[in-house]
Amino acid sequence: MNTPAFQIKCPSCGKQHTYSTDNPSRPFCSERCKLIDLGRWANEEYAIPVPANQAEDSDNLPD
């Protein structure tokens, strides 16, 4: 049973591409975009927000 292909925007470059299990880089359009996104995480350009009280609690943890 084939599922219909659908178009999505690459989260990195914004290019429209077919979302398919044949693309090992999904949801990105290419390996290049996948690596760019990984680099952004590694350079701390992205962050997961935490509530202010949790951020303050982590400052009081023992070394």
What is the residue extent of each domain of the chain? 1-45
Q: Give CATH for domain 1-45.
A: 3.30.50.10
What mean pLDDT is predicted for residues 15-44?
94
23 is in an annotated binding site: no
13 is in an annotated binding site: yes
35 is in an annotated binding site: no
What mean pLDDT is predicted for residues 8-20?
94
Q: In the block, which residue shows the tokens 């350079």?
A: 43
Position 55 pLDDT exceeds 60: no
Contact 16, 9 (CB under 8 A): yes
What mean pLDDT is predicted for residues 47-63?
70
30 is in an annotated binding site: no
